[in-house]
Copies of this chain bind each other. A is one copy, B any other.
Amino acid sequence: MRIGIDAMGGDHAPDAPVSGAVMAMKELPASVRLVLIGDRDQILTVLKSKGADSSQFDIVHTTEVIGMGEHPTKAYTQKPNSTISLGFNMLKEGTLDAFASSGNTGAMLVGCMFTIKTIEGVQRPCITSILPKFKGGFGIILDVGTNADCKPELLYQFAVLGSLYFKNVYKNDSPKVGLLNIGEEAEKGNLLSQAAHVLMSDSKVINFIGNVEGRDFFNEKADIIVCDGFTGNVVLKEAESIYYLIKKRGIKDDYFERFNYENYGGTPVLGVNANVIIGHGISNDIASKNMILLSKNVTEARLSEKIREAFKAPMGVPAGDTGGLR
């Protein structure tokens, strides 16, 4: 298995991604080869500072980088030798099994669209975030920002994509799907959630448990919470900001420590034709390590392939085929 890593991606590159790769190597089986994409000299300097054996890694040299603030499409097309562009080209050629970056999220999504493309039948790819559950374990919420405007069918697809992710990577056979809403009753909510509720209720391929509310993110009600990318992004940033304030108040608490993004590796892009993992832009070495471990798990689970197989079956409502679920 070959995992490509954007060595120049994120606020703390190349230190964080390269150090993270060194840390990850200690936990990965010998069958995994990490491919560091970026400035060779800078990569070697970090590897040396960490006392790592550079022969353990492949390095693909380039000096072109897409900055965090650059316009995604423009930068991607104008920088064909950027770390992100090279990563996607290698994914497409099949010389990588996964590609991970904490760099410009927009450019990562553009890379998906321009090279590996969306899986047939998937309307729009989406991204997820972790919800640490109060009683242990965690859930996910999706979409968290890729799709600000959604139609009911799209929310339904998020439910299917999230279920396939949870089932295959987190080994939960029948994850509970909740629809984010502002009341428990089916008829509550805005036009979008009301229509999505009907689609989800009629579906045989997801384990739909009904509406959940803003108070249910951290309880056991649902494993997967589905919402439009606007609401999901607000929810995620609110949780991050409260965690930040908890730290700022000097509060140390085991549960709230699980809000720390470092513990998780980011999110796969769900619904594209290869394993692509996006890390948090502020990723440090630990977060980068976890991004790489997540990449390995996603690849091992053949997630992208599993989603492709599931979507070959009619994903209409109600879908007759179980699409690998339940």
A241 within 8 A of B: yes
Whether A245 contacts B218 by the Cβ 8 Å rule is: yes
A248 within 8 A of B: yes
Question: A251-267: which have CB < 8 Å to B?
Answer: 251, 253, 255-256
Size category of the A interface is 35 or more
- Least CB separation from A149: chain B residue: B190
User: Within 8 Å CB of A215, what residues of B?
Assistant: 237-238, 240-241, 244
Whether B256 contacts A182 by the Cβ 8 Å rule is: no
A214 within 8 A of B: yes
Least CB distance, A140 to chain B, in whole angstroms: 16
A165 within 8 A of B: no
A228 to B234 CA separation, bound complex (whole angstroms): 12
Whether B149 contacts A245 by the Cβ 8 Å rule is: no
Whether B255 contacts A249 by the Cβ 8 Å rule is: yes
Question: A206-231: which have CB < 8 Å to B?
Answer: 213-219, 227-231
- Least CB separation from A240: chain B residue: B215
- Least CB separation from A145: chain B residue: B182
A68 within 8 A of B: no
A190 to B229 CA separation, bound complex (whole angstroms): 9
Whether B242 contacts A214 by the Cβ 8 Å rule is: no
User: Within 8 Å CB of A235, what residues of B?
Assistant: 214, 234-235, 238
**Most interface-central of A148, A213, A227, A248 (chain B CB within 10 A):** A148
User: Within 8 Å CB of A219, what residues of B?
Assistant: 241
Can you list the 8 inter-chain pairs with the closest CB atoms, starting with the nearest? A214-B237, A148-B190, A214-B234, A215-B241, A182-B233, A215-B237, A214-B238, A149-B190
| A residues adjacent to B (C-beta < 8 A) | 134, 145, 148-149, 180, 182, 189-191, 193, 213-219, 227-231, 233-242, 244-246, 248-249, 251, 253, 255-256
Q: A213-B233, A251-B251, A251-B253 are in contact. List 6 more A-B contacts (CB 8 A).
A: A148-B193, A149-B191, A182-B233, A214-B234, A218-B245, A219-B241
